[in-house]
Structure 1
Amino acid sequence: MRVTGSAKCLPSSNTTMKQTMLGHLSCTMHLLLVWTVLIAVHTVLTEGCPDGCQCNQPSTVFCMNRKNPSFPRAIPPNTFSLYLFQNAISSIEENSFSGLWDLQLLDLSHNKLSNLPGGVFKRLTNLSNLDLSSNQITEISAETFQGLSRLERLYLSENNIRSIHPDAFRGLENLLELKLTKNQLVVAPAFSLPHLLLLDLSYNAIPTIQSGVFHARNIETLRVAGLGLKEVPADLLNELKNLHELDLSDNHLTKVPPGLRGLTKLNLAGNVAISQLQPDDFSGLSLLQDLDLSRMSLHILPKGLFQSTPRLRGVSLAQNPFNCVCSLSWLTEWLRVSGVALHRSEETRCHFPPKNAGKILRDLQNSDFGCPIPTTVFVPTTLALTSTAAPTTPTIPRTTYTTTIITTTTTVPHIPTEEPAVPTQVDQQCPPQTCLNGGLCQLDPLGEVECECPPGFYGMYCEMLSLTPADFTEPPKIQLQVLERTSSSLTVDLQSYIQGKKHLPGLRLTVQNLSGLDNRPGIYQLPPTLLHYTLWELSSNSTYRICLGSMRDVSGEPELCSEAQTMAESPTPSAHITQTREGSLTLVLVPAVVAGILLLVVIVSAICYTRRRREKAHACENGGPLELEGVKTGLDEKGELKKLSEISTGTERGWESEEPLMDSSRVGNNNDTPTGRLPHSYF
């Protein structure tokens, strides 16, 4: 019997069988090990990033707007930066950061944290940036930041912090920035931070700051805006030897604090109790570069105020009730000559006198301030010349002229030559238009101007108007103006509403059709920088009510309303148009010529096509070559048709040919074509 098939070798003994089984077992173990490694790699790749987070880089994790109050889990252990803002996280624990030994930045801002357990961050020994702003934290204990010896920036702004333990910042020796803005602190926190460079306590309820409370002599930037301070102790500023930037805005200061030295930036904006500055208020600020004096009660600035600030580069004087009279005229000239930038110049305007009210201060000329024009007056004086040659020589009087510049032309009586010379005194008068609103000007014994104001006015130049009951009557409401109208659009003026408004978040434009069946108003949200806006797709010959207001407060903000009507729709021209003279002739001739040309093209094309078909048919009958579609046959020297073989091989040059757009030999895949090339693509 013959056995067909593949031959196999069978084991000859039990030892061989055991070896074979061990080999299979070893192979299986290797396969299991490889499979385990692959599963681990797959797990790291698919589950290394927490749910709802993004791990764009191996060391950075972004978890934004998860709206999940629980702390995310499965954070990769090699994370350097962890962003968890706007996640509605309400609580954190020490084990929330287990395994994150390398974490350097932690952002927990804009969550709902109200309590920070003691030592909750102590595992984050390498943390350098911690942002806890915009939460609901109420207190900071002594153990809150325990273990954060490498922390450099700590942000606690916009919380509800009422108390801070005196030892809360103990151990944070490397801290560079500390921000506690917009909390509920009533006492300045005491701390010892030798390397602190920035301290921000703005907008708390801290009416006084005692000297010696800050043991941080290297502070460069101190922000204490909106605390309600009435004064700043000179000792406090003297202790901060390295202070460069000081923000005292929105307090209750009545004068510029003394002892200001070495500052490069000073902000006094919003201290409305300061109505007058002294020429030497900034005498110690030779390094000052930026000064903010906006939103105060300044009427006049003394000449020479900025004489001690040669490095000044920018100043803000916006929203002050300036009296644009002659004593302030030096300011515009100083701005022009010094090159100092006037920030918010559009908001730096005159309030008085009435002729300059509302004008931009920087645009005024010297004559606009009412300053008198200097006048030259020649005053004759008599000088006696005495000769010493002989006692009998008579004294010869000689008349000379001395030049005196005064403010107005003054008539001086002539002094007789026979009388001895005496000093001449020129009577001085008030410059014209010094006292406003009909005030009477006079000079005191020292030559200073005094104005006697008429009833209803007061002030140094009678520029202030006393309020009467009639002044409290509501002025007439300005109507919203429509700049342009068509049958389907209305262009609305927005500038009249924007003027006089401060810090508008946006505009709300409401449109309602009073003529149509659908009276539902349409609301448009517009930026506050537009000067006008056009409403499109409106109904023709319809009346619309348009109201403009602010987006800040829908119920309380007054609106500016008006009614406007769109134009009637113009009649559609009829198909039968009657025109005269050249117009009618053009309308008739042009279509006729075009139609004639088209007809001629069609006839010529038909004739050519018929002739060509006949020539092809005749050539077929005589056994001649048939011209292929898309190919022009060439002629030889005798004027006879070339052979197709010569044309196809291209043995001769100089004939014209056109390759067909689609060749049957090229249709199909690459393997079917003779040359193995795809058909030509024209796209």
Structure 2
Amino acid sequence: MKELVFLLLVVTEVTSRTRSSWCERGCDCRGDLKFTICSRALFTQLPGRVAPGTELLDLSDNNISVIPERSFSKTRKLRVLLLQNNNISVVEDGGFSQLEFLQKLDLSWNQISTLTEGFSIGLASLRELLLTHNRLTSLDSLSFVHLDSLQRLNLTSNAIYTIQVRSFSSMSSLRQLHLNGNRLASLRNGIFSMLRSLELLNLAGNHISEMEMFVFKPLVSMTLLNLANNHLSTLSFKTFQSIHTYSTHILLEGNPWNCDCDLQRLFRKLRSIQRLFLDDYYNLTCEEPAVLQDYRLMDVDTELCIAETVTVLVITITVVITVLAAMLMGERKRKKKKRGSTGRSRGSIQMSLTTEAHTSPSLCPFSPSSFARTLGCR
């Protein structure tokens, strides 16, 4: 019995030593070592020892600042890598190049300001990328070039103000794109090209005041478009008419709408399109004109446009009457002038004949009496 107890103690000690060699100090290696938790371990750099079979590695809430090249060459089986809440400002080219099975990468709440082409090398299997609350200011055509399988991209709360054409062109599988809480002022044609699988596009909380006519046309699978809390005062009907999905829900609340009749007619036409659903139409409020500020758009619809229609009708009728009166007066003057001209012509002929009769007395003796009197003969 004592020998059995001694043997168990030896096995336990050996196992403990082996486990300690697998796990970095400050980490917790659980179960069969597929989960390695190193959260809040005060790391300033990536740990040197992680079990090769680890599938989930949690390095959140540390002070890591750099992801060196080929950092995870010994943990190629990783499927989930959590690096949120660190101080990462530099991701060297090929930093994740060994993670061919990685499906989720969380880099939220860091200091990343640029994404080079080398950032995405090796991430061909990645399905979810979180880059919220970083310092990104622009996206170009090389930012996500190797992310062929990506389905969810979250760029919320950065400082992105420009997106180059075809920045997302490699993401034919992307289903969700979150760009809310950035500094976009306009949306240009081509920035969403190739996103034929995109279902959710979140653009809320930007500075968007204008959108080109066909910017949403490539999004043939979009079911939710969130444009709430931007700087839109009006819309172009053709911008939304170009959306050809079977059913798209659109959010527009929190924009400074200019509630004129053109906007009323626009929303009336948009609401008549059966494939588009303006989910928050009844919450839209006016910013301009000043007399309608904070009024709900639906409350000023009928009164505003009826008044404008009546005004336009009165002006139109007045103009028509004025033009007709001017034409009638002109016609009368023309006829009067014509009659006056005819009378003067007849008078001139009579005076001419009378004068000729006086100056040609030889005509009188040979003229009948009535004709002689006409000529002024005695």
| Short-chain TM bin | 0.5 to 0.7
List alignment gaps of at least 5 residues for structure 1.
1-33, 300-318, 329-433, 435-442, 449-683
Q: Which amino acid aligns with 1:170?
A: V
In structure 2, what is the Cα distance between the partners aligned to 1:94 and 1:36? 41
Task: Report SS of the residue matched to 2:217.
Answer: helix
**Aligned residue in 2 for 1:643:** none
Q: Which has the higher helix share?
A: 2
CA pair 235-53 structure 1, distance change in 2 beyond 3 A: same
Aligned to 2:255: 271
Local SS of the residue matching 1:288: strand
Contact 1:141–1:168 under 8 Å retained in 2: yes
State the match for 1:247 in structure 2. Answer: 226
Check the 8 A contact 1:104/1:129 in 2, yes or no: yes
| Contact kept? 1:256, 1:281, Cα under 8 Å | no
Partner of 2:186: 208
In structure 1, the residue matched to 2:270 is 281
Q: CA deviation at 1:91?
A: 1.8
Letter in structure 1 aligned against 2:96? F
Amino acid at match of 1:233: E
Q: Structure 2 length normalisation: TM-score? A: 0.66
Which AA in structure 1 matches 2:225? L
SS at match of 2:214: helix
Which residue is equivalent to 1:673? none
1:321 aligns with 2:295: yes
1:108 pairs with 2:46: no
Matched, 1:191 2:175: no
1:295 and 1:253 mapped to 2: Cα distance?
Answer: 12
What's the offset of the Cα at 1:154? 1.2
Alignment of 1:182 with 2:157, yes or no, is yes
Corresponding residue number in structure 1 for 2:321: none
For 1:207, the aligned partner's letter is A
1:48 aligns with 2:22: yes
Is 1:73 aligned to residue 48 of structure 2? yes
The answer to whether structure 1 residue 98 and structure 2 residue 61 are counterparts is no
Identify if the C-alpha distance between structure 1 residues 144 and 324 changes in structure 2 by more than 3 Å, giving closer, same or farther.
closer
What is the CA distance between 1:237 and its match in structure 2? 1.6
Superposed CA RMSD = 3.5
Match of 2:5 in 1: none
- Between the aligned partners of 2:210 and 2:69, the Cα distance in structure 1 is 43
| Structure 1 position 47, deviation (Å) | 4.2
Note the 1:70-469 alignment, pairs <5 A: 70-94=45-69, 96-189=71-164, 190-192=167-169, 193-214=171-192, 215-258=194-237, 259=241, 260-261=243-244, 262-275=246-259, 277=264, 278-286=267-275, 288=277, 290-291=279-280, 294=283, 296-297=285-286, 320-322=294-296
Give the Cα–Cα distance (whole angstroms) in 2 for the partners of residues 118 and 444 of structure 1. Answer: 62
How do residues 453-532 of structure 1 correspond to structure 2 at under 5 angstroms?
Answer: none
CA distance in 1, matches of 2:258, 2:300: 22
Distance 1:325 1:97, change over 3 A: closer
Contact 1:248-1:267 within 8 A present in 2 as well: yes
The SS at the match of 1:266 is strand
Structure 1 counterpart of 2:229, one-letter code: D
SS in 1 for 2:269: coil
Deviations 1:75-106 (A, max 9, x none): 22211111221112112223542321110011
Structure 1 or 2, whichever has the larger Rg, is 1
Q: How big is the shift at 1:136?
A: 0.3
Q: Determine the C-alpha separation between the residues in 1 that align with 2:168 and 2:62.
A: 32
Change (3 A) 1:46 1:218: same
Amino acid in structure 2 at the alignment position of 1:130? L
Shift of 1:120: 0.5
Query: Structure 1 residues 295, 182: CA separation in 2 closer, same or farther (over 3 Å shift)?
Result: farther
Whole-Å separation in 2 of the counterparts to 1:95 and 1:445? 69
Aligned pair count reads 286
> Displacement, 1:205?
2.2
What one-letter code is carried by the residue in structure 2 that aligns with 1:188?
I
Deviation digits for residues 158-213 of structure 1, max 9, x if unmatched?
Answer: 11113444223222111111122222222114231111111122232222221122
Q: Give the unaligned 5+ runs of structure 2.
A: 1-7, 313-378
Structure with greater strand percent:
1
TM-score by length of 1: 0.38
Q: Deviations over 1:92-133 (max 9, x none)?
A: 223542321110011111110001100010011111111111
Give the secondary structure class of the aligned counterpart of 1:229: coil
Write out per-residue CA displacement over residues 323-343 of structure 1, whole angstroms, 9 at most, x where no aligned residue: 998988xxxxxxxxxxxxxxx
For residues 280-331 of structure 1, give each alpha carbon's deviation from its aligned partner in whole angstroms, at most 9, with x where no partner exists: 23222446384366463279xxxxxxxxxxxxxxxxxxx9534998988xxx
Aligned counterparts of 1:54 and 1:171: Cα–Cα separation in 2: 32
Q: Residue type of the partner of 2:221?
A: N
**Which amino acid in the other structure matches residue 269 of structure 2?**
D
Greater RCO, 1 or 2 (C-alpha within 8 Å, sep 6+): 2
Relative distance call for 1:293 and 1:133 in structure 2 (3 A) is farther
Counterpart CA distance in 1 for 2:232 and 2:309 is: 35
